[in-house]
Structure 1
Amino acid sequence: MSTLSAINLSTVLVLGATGKTGRRVTALLGSAARPASRSSATRFDWTEPETWGPALAGIAAVYVVPPDNPAQLAEFVPLAVKSGVTRLVLLSMRGAPDDDPFEASIKESGVEWTILRPTWFMQNFDEDLFAAPVRHGELAVPAGQGIHPFIDVLDIAEVAVAALTRPGHAGQTYDLSGPEALSFAEMLARIVEVTGNPVLYTDVAPEDFAASLRGLGYPDEIADLVTMLLVRIRTGAEAHLSDGVQRVLGREPRTFADYLGSSSFA
């Protein structure tokens, strides 16, 4: 029997509860969730280890949105296990290496674990990195005409909830993607069809894009990582589809049209 099938499901800690995936995982879990972030009622800050213990009290499963520093996760996981956590679900990313330190901390925890490796989020167009440029009418990224199967964050959240609350997902790494690979120009054209507001797509040099992120306050390592991931789209390395959503949920992932219909663009 799964550990979680025999316990009170009001013991699922959701880290990053105000973020794109965390908000949706929290909503899907309802009263089963204990949302935690720097601004939640249950306060959690990766840079303040004294907030970790109280957040973990009575918790059996954790949805882990990792910190920037892998050493913090490596310190958190043993504390979580010692406090009684028996299941960990990590939000990783497509292309994470097999020796990824974040994934290693989860896999070496000694408890049930599941790794989620999603593609880029569709919601980046209206909630995050690309939102302001799209609103202002021009998105400039170093992706060329490369295509990528962006995923709806709600699909990630539904997979996460399944892994957190149902048996059969322990020791699994799920690669998650949307059902179609599109270029940035194609996605922006579809946004324009919905909003009627023109948006120009501009391909820029990777070094110029990284510099623009630094100018917005992103740390060097994050600016370089985001740029590298976009360049992988440019080269065609990120065009392939993944079947994790189908394997876990038994249905096709949401399309870009589905996302647009439920987004702030609608």
Structure 2
Amino acid sequence: MSESKLPRILITGATGQVGNKTIEFLKNNNEVEVIAAVRTQDKARQFKRKGIDTVLFDFDDELSHAEALKNVDRVLIVTDYTVDMLRQSKVFLDSAKVAGVKHVVHLGACGPDNTTVAHWAWHQLVEKYIESAGFSFTHLRPETFMQNMLSYGGKQVVKEGIFNQYVENATKSWVDAEDVAQVAALSLLHPDIHSGKTYRMGYDAKSYDDIAEMLTKMIKKPFQYQPQSPDVFLKSMQESGADMAYMHCVYDHYKRYAAGTIPGADEIFDNFPLITGNNPVTWETFIKKHKAEFDY
């Protein structure tokens, strides 16, 4: 039983786009205590300036887990995008079980239960481990983040109106990361409502040509999508020293998007208004919000 009068929520991945926005949604709620899990004191200071409690935590340092999870009731688990997510998640969840955590919200990836896309399946293995451990749970399965068109891997994506991707003319399902964070926050606030639920989140289906056309129309400057072979992506990841176990999976799913062999790649869902009471962000809304970032 938690010693705290209010439920304590630990946010891992607190400096990432979903974790950080989840904290923003929760920070002014007086019915819970929010703790940001961070790796360094420098990152801790960034949150403390905003009045948010922090704890030092590293998925790869299991000795940090017990202190981070002390008196914690609910957790948002956001791992890095590497094959290490499997080990990291298991060890962390084992620690959470010992600590008495009750509800786990897991940020996963796209796909139905029978997905054959490798890194999506890794996330589903984590989901099954959460369930087998006996936690109350909410699984989040976002489709492609709209924010990936702003930056990816720390690099600007659209430069002078030109952008490259690796899926030919495939139509994909998209979601704003802020919408994912809103669902995460509600799932953490109200586990009684969201326990046992798997939320697939994709609310607008567009090809990159569609997006280029919308950008051209709304920003009133020319934008152009120039598709490249997935081999270009693979080579760039190798040269950058990225985790290739994960990047080979990404490479493979780019090839499958391009070939049209991922079932339901453009599937969209109607659950967001039921979960939040709001309408999800569409590409039109997203471009309006981020017009200055796309403009050149």
What's the TM-score bracket when you normalise by the shorter of the two chains? 0.7 to 0.9
How far apart are 1:46 and its partner, in Å? 1.4
CA RMSD of superposed structures (Å): 2.5
Q: Give the drift of 1:57.
A: 1.3
The DSSP-based 3-state class of the residue aligned with 2:288 is: helix
The 10-residue stretch of structure 1 (142-151 or 14-23) with the greater mean CA deviation from structure 2 = 142-151
Q: Single out whichever of 228-237 and 83-92 deviates more from structure 2.
A: 228-237
Greater alpha carbon shift after TM alignment, 46-55 vs 91-100:
91-100
**Under a length normalisation based on structure 1, what TM-score does the superposition of the two structures give?**
0.87
What SS class does the counterpart of residue 194 from structure 2 fall into?
coil
The answer as to 2:178 corresponding to 1:177 is no
Q: In structure 2, what is the equivalent of residue 71 of structure 1? A: 87
Q: Residues 64-121 of structure 1: CA distance to partner in whole angstroms, max 9, x if unpaired?
A: 1124320221111121121121100000011265573211221122120110001010
Contact 1:61 1:86 in 2 (8 A): yes
**Aligned match for 1:12, one of 9, 27, 33:** 9
Q: Does 1:81 align with 2:108?
A: no
* 1:83 to 1:156, Cα distance in 2 relative to 1, 3 A: same
Q: Report the 3-state secondary structure (helix = DSSP H, G, I; strand = E; otherwise coil) of the residue aligned with 2:174.
A: coil
**Alpha-carbon distance between aligned partners in 2 of 1:130 and 1:122, rounded to the nearest angstrom:** 15
Matches within 5 A, 1:38-57: 38-39=39-40, 40-41=43-44, 42-57=55-70
State how far apart, in whole Å, the 1-side matches of 2:79 and 2:175 are: 19
Could you give the per-residue CA deviations for residues 121-150 of structure 1, whole angstroms, max 9, x where no partner exists?
001111434952313543222211111121
Q: TM-score scaled to structure 2, two decimals?
A: 0.79
| Alpha-carbon contact 2:13-2:37 (below 8 Å) kept | yes
Question: In the aligned structure 1, how far is the partner of 2:271 from the partner of 2:154?
Answer: 25
Residue identity opposite 1:53 in structure 2: A
**How do 1:1-266 and structure 2 match up within 5 A?**
8-9=6-7, 11-30=8-27, 32-39=33-40, 40-41=43-44, 42-67=55-80, 68=82, 69=84, 70-95=86-111, 97=113, 100-129=124-153, 132-135=156-159, 137-166=161-190, 167-178=192-203, 180-195=204-219, 198-234=222-258, 235=260, 237=263, 238-263=265-290, 264-265=293-294
Tell me the distance in 1 between the aligned counterparts of 2:254 and 2:134.
35
The runs of 5 or more residues in structure 1 that have no matched partner are none
Q: 2:151, 2:157 within 8 Å by CA — same for their partners in 1?
A: no
Deviation at 1:196, TM superposition (A): 5.2
Q: Is the 8 A contact 1:36 1:55 kept in 2?
A: yes
Aligned residues: 261
* Residues in 1 aligned to 2:13 and 2:224: alpha-carbon distance in whole angstroms: 32
The amino acid across from 1:72 in the alignment is Q
Q: Distance in 2 between matches of 1:110 and 1:227?
A: 35
Measured in 2, the distance between the counterparts of 1:188 and 1:231 equals 21
